[in-house]
Amino acid sequence: MPVYKAPVNDTLFVLNDVLGLERYNNLPGYADATPDMIEAIVGEAAKLSEEVLFPLNYSGDQEGCVRHDDGTVSTPKGFKEAYRAYREGGWLGLAVPEEFGGQGLPYVLHCAVGEYTSAANMSLMMYPGLTQGAIAAILVHGTDAQKQTYLPKLVEGSWSGTMNLTEPHCGTDLGLLRTKAVPQGDGSYKISGQKIFISAGEHDMTDNIVHLVLARIEGAPEGTKGISLFIVPKFLVKEDGSLGDRNPVSCGAIEHKMGIHGNATCVMNYDEATGFLIGAENKGLNAMFVMMNEARLGVGLQGLSIAEIAYQNAANYARERIQGRSLSGPKAPDKKADPIIVHPDIRRSLMTIRAFNEAGRAFLLWTALKSDIAHRSPDEKDRQAADDILGLATPILKGVLTDKGFEHAVMAQQVFGGHGYIEEHGMSQYVRDARITMIYEGANGIQALDLVGRKLALNGGRAVMALFKEIGDFCEENRNDEQMAFYTKHLKKGLNDVQAATMWFMQNAMAKPDNAGAGSTDYMHLFGLVVLGYMWAKMAKAAQAGLAAGDSAREDYLKNKLVTARFYMERIMPETALRKARIETGADTMMELAAEAF
């Protein structure tokens, strides 16, 4: 049977030892987040994840969601009750301002908690996950009245939210979208059209569903410049806040998917449904991107979550499964065979996943901290600098943590041999669930293009230069620290590669943009390798500081950090040279064939 144990110690190591969260108590909400408070919160989240959410993960996958003839949708057995426990714990509003019913705590804590809950039950957590996106969009772009009408209900979780972008003929290229909005003269619009792939589009967990829908106002320009964002509630909301008429928006079908069976992925039909403009007319994409950017961090988080639960189960299996003998002689001579964890090739898999997960967790929380600074710091320069890094890091975090999350779920499944292919062991579900993270909220090829085509050059390359400088300075500062030399040597090599690749784009992609597209995925991974390497160097430094301070209770724990850091530097980091070499071959061979020749 699958198991899950929230990695509380690792979270606390990153928050306290690596990021030094207490140093940020000038930020709103951070003063309340004392080390004790943080430990209590992640401890509670761990309990909820392990005891309430996780036990429904496998059954939710097996049972799936059911759409009934009247268009209602039932979620798997137990989901409603588990969702209630989640929302009654106040988890939805953890980082939402107190004036709308939230707790105003750091977003970094929200992400720490989110890793556990998504690992325990990704399908279930998508329902409140979509609500988070709706909250973010309404917070930034809603009118005061919209905020008052929708936010408290969304934050308490009695209503949920959705994002409606995709149509059958358009996903990435939203300029093609056809859903139309006809103004009614009273400030409202009639929305008509079909949306597909709508996660949590219809379900039985909340009293109301607040759809955020991209549509084109009649007469608006073609392309992306004529798209507006609308709030389309399932039940219209009366003046007094109570629920009124059922809006003609309905679930036409639920998709038959490879995974995340516990989440209802809906075809949504809008048949002159009443909607309300949010944000400026024809500026819908801007408003949607507020949701999108937060959602992308949330998807990167899911990649980490699934890789972590897959890792834990593989490690358990490797300790328990008795098969064959160690190459260096029996390790369990009293038994008929050794546990397979004695085999180097099994350890290669476990160490690889572990090295990515620990660095991925640090990268996620480091990025979330940037988000807090960007949104909460009183210092404008700090805000801008953090926002620069946040924008740069988002596509890397989404693309790399999900590509690797899936790859490592597969690697963990492999540890089980044939048993990994049988659904009952749960590994297949992790692989099937993880697969969607590479696709939704912008397929990873789009993340790579966002990075290379937009984020690199933004503001004259300010963000990328700042990050290269930060990493370079770290190497420089630790140059004479003997204990750090091994890590900074490898990190510096990776940094050189990503800088060279960046330079190559500057010299070769201006005149020939295909050269940027051809190298974009390699560049995203190259950058990811370096950022994760930077996280490992920071973690190695923190571990050494802990050891030097005589932290005997964590001595083994901290030493294991150093071993894993070494593993990452030795075996993973050298991939930067390959990625750079590929980028430098450019687009020629891949563009040469005629389309019909494929």
Token pair listed for 566: 């070494």
For residues 521 and 448, the answer to whether their CB atoms sit within 8 Å is yes
Token pair listed for 215: 């549509």
* Residues 263-302: x where in contact with a copy of itself by CB under 8 A, - otherwise, as a string: ----------------------------------------
Chain positions 450 to 509 lying near a copy of itself, rule: CB under 8 A, are: 453
- How many CA within 13 A on the CB side of residue 1? 7
- How many CA within 13 A on the CB side of residue 217? 22
Segment interacting with a copy of itself (CB under 8 A) among 2-10, 86-94, 344-352, 499-507: 344-352
Interface with a copy of itself, residue 1, by CB under 8 A: no
For residues 109 and 87, the answer to whether their CB atoms sit within 8 Å is no
Instruction: Find, among 126, 125, 132, 113, the residue nearest to 47 by Cα.
Output: 113
Token pair listed for 363: 């990268």
* Residues 24-43: x where in contact with a copy of itself by CB under 8 A, - otherwise, as a string: --------------------
CA distance 108 to 368: 5
Q: Considering only residues 157, 171, 300, 303, which one is a binding residue for a copy of itself as defined by CB under 8 A? A: 171
| DSSP type of residue 247 | P
Pick the closer one to a copy of itself by CB: 341 or 532: 341
Min dist. Cβ of residue 69 to a copy of itself (A):
21
Min dist. Cβ of residue 154 to a copy of itself (A):
25
| DSSP type of residue 569 | I
Interface with a copy of itself, residue 77, by CB under 8 A: no
Chain positions 198 to 257 lying near a copy of itself, rule: CB under 8 A, are: 255-257
CA distance 527 to 533: 10
Min dist. Cβ of residue 530 to a copy of itself (A):
15
> How far is Cα of residue 337 from the mean position of the Cα atoms in its chain?
40
Q: Considering only residues 513, 547, 551, 554, which one is a binding residue for a copy of itself as defined by CB under 8 A? A: 513
Chain positions 422 to 451 lying near a copy of itself, rule: CB under 8 A, are: 422-424, 428, 431-432, 435-436, 438-440, 443-445, 448-449
Pick the closer one to a copy of itself by CB: 66 or 322: 322
Token pair listed for 30: 């951070």
Chain positions 311 to 330 lying near a copy of itself, rule: CB under 8 A, are: 315, 318-319, 322-324, 327-328
Pick the closer one to a copy of itself by CB: 325 or 375: 325
Interface with a copy of itself, residue 8, by CB under 8 A: no
CA distance 532 to 47: 29
Min dist. Cβ of residue 345 to a copy of itself (A):
4
CA distance 99 to 148: 10
Pick the closer one to a copy of itself by CB: 255 or 272: 255
Pick the closer one to a copy of itself by CB: 40 or 591: 591
Q: Considering only residues 58, 406, 505, 536, which one is a binding residue for a copy of itself as defined by CB under 8 A? A: 406
CA distance 309 to 323: 23
Pick the closer one to a copy of itself by CB: 259 or 284: 259
Q: Give the catalytic positions in this structure.
A: 441
Tokens 């009654």: give the residue.
88
* Residues 539-568: x where in contact with a copy of itself by CB under 8 A, - otherwise, as a string: -----------------x---x--xx-xx-
For residues 254 and 73, the answer to whether their CB atoms sit within 8 Å is yes
Q: Considering only residues 87, 343, 376, 408, which one is a binding residue for a copy of itself as defined by CB under 8 A? A: 343
Count of residues that bind a copy of itself according to CB under 8 A: 97
| DSSP type of residue 76 | P
CA distance 598 to 193: 35
Report the alpha-carbon angle 527-480-486, nearest 5.
50
